[in-house]
Amino acid sequence: MLAYIARRLWQIIPTMLGVILLIFFLFSVVGGDPAYLLAGKISNPEQIANIRKQLGIDEPYWMQLLIFIKQVVTFDFGSSWSTNEVVSQIFATRLPASLMIGIPLLILETIIAITIALAVAYVRGSFTDRAAMVTCTMAQSVSILVYIIVFQYVLAYKWGLFPVQGWGNGFFENLFKFAALPILIALVVSLAPNIRLYRTFLLDEVNQDYVRTARAKGLSENRVMFVHVLRNASIPIITNLMIQLPGLLVGLFLIERFFSVPGIGREVILAVERSDFPVIKAVTVYVALATMLANLAADLLYKAVDPRVELK
Amino acid sequence: MANWPLTRELRRGLATCLIGAVGLSGLVGLSGCGDASKKDGVSAGVTAVSPVKSPDGKKVVRLNFPVAESGFDPVTAHDLYSSIVIDGIFDTILTYDYLAQPAKLVPKIATEMPLVEDNGQLWTIKLKKGVYFAPHEVFGSNKRELTSKDVAYSFKRHYDDSLKPVWRFLTDGKIVGLNAWYDAGKKAGKLDWDAPVEGLQLVDPYTIKIVLTKPDYNFGYVLAHVAMSVVAREVVEKYPNDVLSHPVGSSAYYLKEWVRGQRIILEKNPNWRGGTWDFKPSGKDAYDEVIVKAMHGKPLAQIDRVEIYPIEEEQSRWLAFKNKQLDVLNMPSSFIKQALPNGKMSPELAAEGVRVQRLLDTEYTYTYFQWNDPIWGGNELHKVALRRAVAMAINREEEIEIIRKGNAVRAEFLVPPGVAGHKAEFTSSITYNPPLANALLDKFGYKKGADGFRNTPDGKPFTFKYTSTPTAIEREFDELYTKNLGALGIRYEAEKEKFADSIKREKRCQITTRGAAWIADYPDGDNFMQLLYSKNIGESNNGCYKSATFDALYEKSAQLPDGPERDKLYMEMQKQFEADTPWALGVTRYRNQMVHPWVVGYKKHPILLSEWMYFDVNMEKGK
C-alpha cells in the first residue's frame, strides 16, 4: 500500500509539470497584457514598460517559466498584481468562507441524495420513482441563476427568512445565519443531478444476482439496500464525491457573488476581471494538485470499501 | 406577507435553526439558533435593521461599492472605488464646493485659493495650520502636522517607478524641474527624496510655490485631484511596498477596519481639525435649500462611522437597500424601471420617504473610427462622408430607450454637462437621419453590390468591424449596430476580445472601431478636448485622430482659463470635429442616487468622490 501511495505521489510530478506548462502557455503566452489595465486611464509607452518590468513580464519566456516553476515548488506565488495582497494570504482569508458553504453542502447533498436515490431505486418503475425522476429532470433544467434570484427575493427579501446578503465575523453567526441560504440554494441545485446519478448506480446493483440471493436468504430490505446494495454502489459514488472535492477550493462563484460571501470563488472572478495572473495561476495549480490528491484518495477508498480491489 | 403570523426576526431565527438542525447537527451544536435576530447589527455584515445608529451609539452611514476596492494609496489606486475611500481619508490642497453648479474649486487644506501669477505659471499656496494626520505609531504620541514638505513629497511620489504609479500624467512635464529630478534619480538608480525641485519651492512650513513649465490656469483641478492627496513620508517609509493597506491621512476619517472585498469601516479622525458647514444653494436645484436649512452652521463630519460593503450583484444591492441595510444607493440599471416607473418614484418607495437624486454624470460615450485605417480613417472627402453617414445612422434614441433603459441623454457637444466649457444650448449638426446618410454614401460612390451591401468607391467590399468585450450589454450594441448599419447597406462585424487586449491594440492604433467612454478626471473641458489632440495618440487619443487645425486650436485653448475666449475656441474645435467626424458621439448617462429619509443633507457631487463629511443622519428617523 505504501509503495502504491509513493508511486502515485511520484507520478504527480510529471503531471504537474504538464499542468505548469499548460497554465504558463495560457496565461503568459496567449493571455493578455495586464500592464495596460494597471497603467490607468492615461499612460505612455514608457510607463507601460515600467509596469511590465515591475511585474517581471518583460523577462524572456524561459525565465518567466523558471520563476513560475519556483513559485509552484515553494508554494509562494508572490503578491496580487492588482491589490498587492500576498496570494497565500488571499487563500488563507477567503478559503474559510468558501469551505463554510462547501463542506456542509457536500455532506448534506451526499446524505440526502443517497437516501432519496435508495428510496426511488427501491420502488423503481413505480409512480413515485417516475415522479421523482420527472421532478429531477425539471429541476436540472432550471439555471442556478434562477434559483438564486428567486430564493434571494422570496425567502430572504419577501419572507425575511434569511439575510438578503452579507457576511459576519463569528463562525456560528456565519454558518447558521449568512451561509444558510447559500447552502440551501446550492443544495436544491445539486440534489437533482446527484439523485439521478446515484439512482442509476444503485439500480445497476439492485438487479444483480447477489441481491436476489440476499433476499432469498431472508434478509430484511433495509439490510439488503443499506448494506449490500449501497456498499457495492459506493465505488461510483466515491468517484463522484472525489471529483467534487477539488471544487471546494474554487468555491461557488455565482452564489458567493450574489450573497457577498468573501470566498475564493468571488476572488477568482475578480482576479479574472483584473487579469491578476498570480492569483489565477495559484488557483489553477492548487485545483490541479487537489484533483490529483483526490484521485489518489478515491483509489484508497475503493480498496477500503471493496477488499477485492487491488492497488497496483 | 401581512398574514404571516410570525415576526421577521422570529421567522429568520426559525429558518436558521431548521437549516442548522437538518444539515449541521453532526458538525456543531445548535448553539447558533436563536441569536440570528439578536446579532442583527452593523458588526455582522450588512444586516443592521436599525439604521444609522451603531450599538455604541455612533452615527453610522452604510454604503456600498459595486466592485471590490483594490487599495488606498493615492499614487497607485487605479479604480474609482479605492479612490473614493482615499478621498475620505486624505486631504488635497483644493476641493469642490458641495453645492455649486457647475463644480467650483474651493480650498481644503489651503487657507485660501492659490495666488496665480506670472501668466498662470506661478501658483502660491498657503496651507492651513493645525492640519494633523490621524494617529499612527510612526508619529509616536505627538500629533503630526501636515506641512509644505509633505505636499512636495506627495507630488514626487508619482515618479517612483517601483510603485507602478498611474496618475503621473497629471503633473508629467508640467512642474519645472520635476522631470529632471526623476531623470537624475533614474540615472542614479535611486530617487533622492530630499533633493530640491525648482518648481516645488518650500517657502516655509505652510507655504509652497509651484512653478509650471507653461501657463496653465487649470492646474487648480490637479490640486483638487484625489491622486494628489497628501501623505506622510514616515508612513510611506514604514510600509514601502504596502502603503495601500496602511493609508494615514489628515481628512475627516481614518481607516478603522478593512476586510478586503468584504467591508471597509472608517471612523472619524481623532485629530480632525473640524470646520463649519457653510455652503450656499446653487440656485439650480430647489433641494439645495432643504440641504442648507438642515446643515448650515453644523460642524463638518457629523457622521461618526462610514461602513462600505462591496456588493457586486445588482439584485443584491437593490434588495439590501430596500431592506434598509444600505442608506444610499446608486440605482442599478436593471431595476430602474421598477424603482422609477415613468421617471417617477414608485409608490412603494415614495411611501417610505425614499428620495431620488438624478444627475447627469460628467461623461459621455463615443464610437471612434481608426484614423489610420485605409477604409475608415483620413481626410479624403469620401472617407469623411462614410464616417458621417455611420454617425447619422446610429440610432441613439433607441440606445437610450432600450439599452440604457431611458437612463441617458444624447451627447451633443465635446464637453459634457457639468464640465466647464459645456454648451447647454448647442445641438450637433450630425443627427439621426438614415435617408440622408444613404444619400451621402450614394453621392460619394459607395454603391451597393449584388449582395445588397455597399462597396468602397473603387468597388471593394468592406465591413464596420466593431471591437468590444463579450458582455451582455455589448451584445445589445451588436444588435443595434447590425440593424442601423444594415439600413445603410454596410456589413457589421463584431470582434470580441478581452478589455486588456483592446487597450493594448488601441494604443498601437490597431482597432478599426470601438465604443469608449470618458468620465471627467476634473470638471474642465480640457480633460475632454485632449482626447482628440494628436500628441496624445498612444495615450488617450484612442482613435489616433490627427488634425493640424484641431491641434492648433487645442494648444491655444490649453493656455487659457475657462471663459468666453476659450469657449470660442471650443466652438471652433467642435466645428472641426464635426467636419472630420473622427467619432460618433454617444450618450451621457444619468446617475440615480436613492436616499433613505433619515439621510439628511445628502447630495451626490458630480466630481467630489466622498461627500461623507458634508451630510448627516437623523437618528430619530432611522429608528
The answer on pLDDT for B29 being more than 80 is no
Where is average pLDDT lowest: B132-136, B379-383, B495-499? B495-499
Handedness of CA A203, A204, A207, A209 (dihedral sign): negative
10 Å CB burial of residue B441 (0-12, 13-18, 19+) is buried
Residue B427 is predicted with a pLDDT of 95
pTM summary value: 0.87
pLDDT (tens digit per residue) in A54-92: 888 889 999 999 999 999 999 899 999 888 899 999 999
**pLDDT, position B49:** 46
Quick one: closest CA in A to B8, which residue?
A: A160
Helix (H, G, I), strand (E, B) or coil at A163: coil
Cell readout for B92 is 488635497
CB spacing of B164 vs A165 below 8 angstroms: no
Phi, psi for residue B253 in degrees, rounded to 5? -130, 155
Element (H, E) at B207: strand B207-211
Q: ∠ at Cα B381 (B377, B385), nearest 5°? A: 75
Residue-wise pLDDT for B352-368, tens only, equals: 999 999 999 999 999 99
Is the model's pLDDT at B283 over the cut of 80?
yes
B50 has pLDDT over 60: no
pLDDT at B1 over 60: no
Give ∠ CA B293-B298-B300 in degrees, rounded to 5: 120
A28 touches chain B (CB under 8 A): no
Residue B25, pLDDT score: 37
- Closest Cα of chain A to B47: distance in Å? 7
For position B17, what pLDDT does the model report? 42
The partner residue sitting opposite A104, judged by closest CB among B24, B244, B245, is B24
> Residues 277-306, chain A: which have Cβ within 8 Å of B?
none
Q: Which of A11-25, A155-169, A298-312, B146-160 has the lowest mean pLDDT?
A: A298-312
Chain A residues near residue B226 by CB distance under 8 angstroms: none
Predicted confidence (pLDDT) per residue in B331-346, tens digit: 998 898 899 888 789 9
CB contact under 8 A, A83 and B244: yes
pLDDT at B51: 58
C-beta separation of B236 from B243 below 8 A: yes
Q: Is B26 a residue whose pLDDT tops 60?
A: no
Residue B36 to residue A177, Cβ atoms within 8 A: yes
Strand order in the sheet with B60-65: B60-65, B305-310, B263-268, B253-259
Q: Tell me the HSE value of B538 on the side-chain side, using a 13 A CA sphere.
A: 7
Q: How far is CA B151 from CA A174, B108, B123, B145, B164, in A?
A: 44, 13, 13, 12, 20
State the average pLDDT for chain B: 90
- Residue B53's pLDDT band, with cuts at 50, 70 and 90, is low
**Mutation choice for B interface testing from A164, A183, A268 by most B CBs within 10 A:** A164
Nearest to B551 by CA among B521, B511, B580: B580
Interchain proximity A166–B28, CB inside 8 Å: no
Residue B418: phi and psi, rounded to 5, are 85, 0
Beta-carbon contacts of residue A287 (< 8 Å; ≥ 6 apart): A246, A249, A250
The most confident of A69-73, B21-25, B48-52, B526-530, by mean pLDDT: B526-530
The yes-or-no verdict on residue B484 having pLDDT over 80 is yes
DSSP B298: P
Q: Which residues, 6 or more positions from B416, have their beta carbon under 8 angstroms from its beta carbon?
A: B360, B361, B362, B363, B364, B422, B520, B528, B588
Tens of pLDDT, residues A215-243: 999 999 888 988 888 888 888 899 888 88
Looking at CA atoms only, how far is residue A168 from chain B in angstroms? 4
**Angstroms from B45 CA to nearest CA on chain A:** 5
pLDDT in tens, B87-131: 999 999 999 999 998 899 999 999 999 999 999 999 999 999 999
Please indicate if any CB of chain B lies within 8 Å of the CB of A169. Answer: yes
C-alpha grid cell, residue B268:
472619524
The most confident of B54-63, B246-255, B399-408, by mean pLDDT: B246-255
Q: How far apart are CA A78 and CA A88, in angstroms?
A: 8
DSSP A246: G
A74–chain B nearest CA distance, Å: 22
Instruction: Tell me which chain B residue has its CA closest to the CA of residue A106.
Output: B23
- What pLDDT sits at residue B556? 95
Centre a 10 Å sphere on the Cβ of residue A138 and count the other Cβ atoms it contains. Answer: 10
* A108 vs B23, B311, B323: nearest CB: B23
Q: Which residues pair with B401 in a beta bridge?
A: none
pLDDT of residue B52: 62
Helix axes A277-305, A2-24, angle to 10 degrees: 150
Residues of chain A contacting B33 with CB distance shorter than 8 Å: 176
A40 vs B19: CB contact, 8 Å cut-off? no
Of the candidates B71, B261, B538, the beta carbon closest to that of A45 is on B538
One-letter identity of residue A66: L
Of the residues A260, A268, A275, A277, the best mutation for testing chain B's interface (the one with the most B CB atoms within 10 Å of its CB) is A260
Q: Retrieve residue B494's grid coordinates.
A: 463584431
What residue in A sits closest to B471 (Cα-Cα)? A273
In this predicted structure, what is the pLDDT of residue B32?
34
| Model confidence band, residue A275 (pLDDT cutoffs 50, 70, 90) | confident
Is the model's pLDDT at B37 over the cut of 60? no
Tell me how many residue pairs between chain A and chain B have CB atoms under 8 A apart. Answer: 194
For residue A248, what pLDDT is reported?
Answer: 83
Least Cα distance to B535 among B503, B558, B518, B515 occurs for B558
Q: CB-CB: which of B31, B45, B500 is closest to A178? A: B45
CB contact under 8 A, A165 and B168: no
Note the pLDDT of residue B3.
37
Residue-level pLDDT at A150? 96
Question: Is pLDDT at B296 greater than 90 in this prediction?
Answer: yes
- A40, B166: Cβ pair inside 8 Å? yes
CA B611 to chain centre: 14
Question: Which chain B residue lies closest to A32 (C-alpha atoms)?
Answer: B501
CA atoms within 13 A on the CB side of B335: 21
Q: B449-479 as b/e, with b when 16 or more CB fall inside 10 Å?
A: eeeebbbbbeeeebebbbbbeeeeebeebbe
Please tell me whether the peptide bond between B74 and the residue prior to it is cis, using omega within 30 degrees of 0.
no
- For residue B68, the chain A residues in CB contact (below 8 A) are 266, 270
Burial of B284 (0-12, 13-18, 19+ CB in 10 A): exposed
B31 pLDDT band, cuts 50/70/90, is very low
% of chain B with per-residue pLDDT over 70 = 91
Lookup result for grid cell 480650498: B107
> What percent of chain B clears pLDDT 90, i.e. is strictly above it?
82
Residue pair B132/A22 in contact (Cβ under 8 Å)? The answer is no
